Amino acid sequence: MLSYRHAYHAGNPADVSKHAVLMVLLEAMCRKPTPLLYMETHAGAGTYSLHAPRARKLAEHARGIARLQAAAELDPVCSRLLELLRPHLQAGHYPGSPRIAADLLRAQDAMLLCELHPSDFPVLSAHLGGRARTTLMHTDGYAALAASLPPGQRRGLVLIDPAYEQRDEPRRMCQALRRALRRFAHGVYALWYPLDERGIGSVLRRDLLAMGCAKLLLAECRFASPRTAGRLQGSGMLIVNPPFRCDEQIVSAFACLSRVCAEHDSAQTGHTVRWLVGEKAAPASV
């Protein structure tokens, strides 16, 4: 199935929280002078018009990035994210993760973007196909993942961000990650998942813990109460081998986002950032 269209949801609270984590990870990795590879298994279209009919139909960005723009006070991480996004927002667009990564990566870094959707791939190619050290693949990102590792740069961040249309998506994701870890055990992997009644995060946690990762960080940001079936309650990330002290910045960002983007009728917002394996700092959960 390829029916999911992210243009309806671009810039919503889950998007913003995911991109805050992505920015924190890439900023940390770019502090070292050696080059890195950034890879996405589900890259999408790369950028989305906030004035297009799809975006206007649900107007989910009004509860996400628009809240950040209107906020009287933001934490340092969300302030940096807003500054990073500002040129795109002023042009009426919300950038997807490939565009955000392109803005953060350096000249020596490479980018590999996989997208299978026949409508999204040409748009992605139009936006980023001419960028130096960027490879675009119209293919199944899971199949391309292990085949592309280890990178020649010996350092890398992989974002795995599927639409979760298929019931077996968590299984496929974990199978691909297991193969990738065999080839590139010290890579950084960020797995996004929705917080909803399906409990996808619990399945992923169980399977990742069974893989024996050296470091595994859980980061969840909740914006809404779980009172309505099918409703997105928040956004989660499982991060394998996160860079040093990224957890502290994610705590800061999620504390801000869960407050700024909270639904007014919800009493169950907040965030959880804790180590499942590795650097056992005190968990942050609100």
Which CATH number does the domain housing residue 46 bear? 3.40.50.150
Asked if the structure places residue 255 within a domain, the reply is yes
pLDDT of residue 267: 57
**Of 58 and 199, the one with more pLDDT:** 199
User: Which percentage of the chain shows pLDDT scores above 90?
Assistant: 77
- Among residues 157, 130, 185, 176, the alpha carbon closest in space to that of 40 is found at 157
Instruction: Domain of residue 170: give its range.
Output: 6-285
Asked if the structure places residue 1 within a domain, the reply is no
Catalytic residue flag (residue 161): yes
Asked if the structure places residue 174 within a domain, the reply is yes
CA 279/CA 205 separation, integer angstroms: 17
Q: Which of 161, 196, 207, 247 is catalytic?
A: 161
What six digits make up the tokens of 92? 């009426």
* Interval 8-26: pLDDT, tens: 778 899 999 999 999 999 9
Q: To the nearest 10°, the Cα dihedral for 12, 25, 85, 71?
A: 60
Count of domains for the chain: 1
* Interval 17-53: pLDDT, tens: 999 999 999 999 999 999 999 999 999 999 988 887 7
pLDDT of residue 53: 77
CA 133 remoteness from chain centre: 21
The two most distant CA atoms of the chain are separated, in Å, by 50
Asked if the structure places residue 257 within a domain, the reply is yes
- The answer to whether 228 and 235 are in contact (CB under 8 A) is no
Asked if the structure places residue 275 within a domain, the reply is yes
* Interval 65-114: pLDDT, tens: 999 999 999 999 999 999 999 999 999 999 999 999 999 999 999 999 99
pLDDT of residue 9: 78
- The answer to whether 45 and 102 are in contact (CB under 8 A) is no
Say which DSSP state 109 is in. Answer: -
Over residues 197-220, the mean pLDDT reads: 95
Asked if the structure places residue 201 within a domain, the reply is yes
Residue identified by tokens 């974990």 is 174
Asked if the structure places residue 168 within a domain, the reply is yes
- Among residues 75, 54, 52, the alpha carbon closest in space to that of 9 is found at 54
pLDDT of residue 224: 83
**Of 54 and 181, the one with more pLDDT:** 181
